[in-house]
């Protein structure tokens, strides 16, 4: 049976088959609820749950009002590394950064991220699959075509996932997803923390999402070679899951802050390798 769950509007977050999105009606200063229809929500299905495409997730973030997206930008300079696991995590964070740049309508940031996507795809041996998307991002940025840029970032994420799966690099594909998810989570906690309300914090409640990701990191850690970055991410996800499970009656501001701290700490570990 479909489960009723609250949404987690971050890059590559898993949504349930039935849910409602809390939204703030700024003009009247009141709080309402926008019904979510999964049949109309673009995405793909994994283990009987809907995985929304990134642009639609960031459209949900628009319901938070008008955050200062420029404050959420961090840049996307690729660190010097050759390890494919680390590079895959970084790739996910860079694509997620692209969506933040689109929300901020920052053309230079989008162009910089488009170039980083090309460099990272070359390091991961998937440049041929990604190059057309990256070039389309750069072309659309030159014309300030923000909707087209969102679509191209969606396509980039999809192409990377499919290409890695075809190359039997399923674990690397999961690392891309996790990197993007962590960057998106950090964004949400930052936005919610700056203007906290119970409805906004409700957007963070998604223990089944974290459980799904932990099942993936668990599989990665079951082999002989246990990558230290995957171990760190798994430990961080474990704490986030515990916080979410304890927040079934509502998120306190301290819980929002703690999830943000964990996410940001893991992002630092990813980009410092």
Beta strands (DSSP E) in the chain are: 19-25, 30-36, 43-46, 49-52
Task: Name the DSSP letter for residue 17.
Answer: S
pLDDT at 245 over 70: yes
Mean pLDDT on 37-59:
46
pLDDT at 57 over 80: no
Domain ranges (residues) in the chain: 19-271
pLDDT confidence of residue 218:
93
Neighbouring residues of 166: CB distance < 8 A, sequence distance ≥ 6: none
User: Burial code of 58-92, b = ≥16 C-beta within 10 A, e = fewer?
Assistant: bebbebbeebebeebbbebebeebeebbbbbbbbb
pLDDT at 225 over 80: no
pLDDT digits (tens, 9 = 90+) for 73-84: 987 566 678 899
pLDDT at 43 over 60: no
Burial class (CB in 10 A: 0-12, 13-18, 19+), 38: middle
pLDDT confidence of residue 40:
42
Q: Which two tokens stand for residue 99?
A: 């969506």
pLDDT digits (tens, 9 = 90+) for 170-204: 889 889 989 988 998 898 899 889 888 887 888 78
CB 247 within 8 A of CB 255: yes
CB 130 within 8 A of CB 160: yes
User: Burial code of 142-175, b = ≥16 C-beta within 10 A, e = fewer?
Assistant: eeeebebbbbbbbbbbebbbebbeeeebebbbbb
pLDDT confidence of residue 28:
34
Neighbouring residues of 260: CB distance < 8 A, sequence distance ≥ 6: 185, 186, 189, 190, 193
3-class SS of residue 262: helix
What whole-number distance in Å separates Cα of residue 54 and Cα of residue 11?
5
pLDDT at 51 over 60: no
3-class SS of residue 121: helix
Task: Name the DSSP letter for residue 53.
Answer: -
Average model confidence (pLDDT) across the chain: 78
pLDDT at 256 over 70: yes
Mean pLDDT on 260-265:
97
What whole-number distance in Å separates Cα of residue 103 and Cα of residue 59?
9
188 phi and psi angles, rounded to 5 deg = -65, -45
Most confident of 37-41, 104-108, 143-147, 262-266: 262-266
């Amino acid at each position: 049976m479909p489960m009723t769950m609250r949404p987690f509007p971050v890059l590559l977050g898993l949504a349930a088959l039935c849910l409602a999105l809390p939204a703030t009606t700024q003009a009247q200063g009141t709080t309402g609820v926008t019904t979510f229809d999964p049949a109309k929500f673009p995405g793909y299905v994994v283990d009987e749950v809907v995985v929304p495409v990134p642009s639609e997730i960031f459209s949900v973030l628009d319901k938070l009002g008008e955050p200062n997206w420029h404050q959420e930008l961090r840049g996307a300079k690729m660190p010097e590394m050759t390890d494919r696991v680390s590079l895959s995590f970084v790739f996910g964070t860079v694509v997620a950064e692209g969506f933040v740049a689109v929300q901020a309508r920052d053309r230079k940031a989008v162009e910089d991220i488009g170039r980083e996507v090309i460099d990272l795809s070359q390091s991961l041996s998937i440049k041929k699959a990604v190059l057309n998307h990256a070039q389309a991002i750069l072309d659309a940025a030159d014309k300030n075509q923000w909707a087209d840029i969102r679509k191209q970032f969606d396509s980039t994420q999809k192409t990377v996932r499919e290409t890695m799966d075809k190359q039997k690099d399923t674990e690397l594909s999961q690392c891309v997803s996790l990197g993007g998810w962590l960057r998106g989570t950090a964004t949400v906690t930052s936005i919610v923390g700056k203007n906290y309300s119970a409805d906004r914090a409700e957007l963070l409640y998604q223990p089944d999402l974290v459980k799904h990701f932990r099942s993936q990191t668990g599989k990665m850690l079951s082999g002989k070679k246990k990558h230290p970055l995957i171990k760190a991410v798994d430990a961080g996800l474990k704490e986030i899951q515990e916080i979410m499970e304890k927040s079934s009656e509502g998120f306190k501001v301290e819980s929002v802050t703690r999830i943000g701290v964990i996410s940001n700490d893991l992002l630092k570990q990813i980009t410092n390798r």
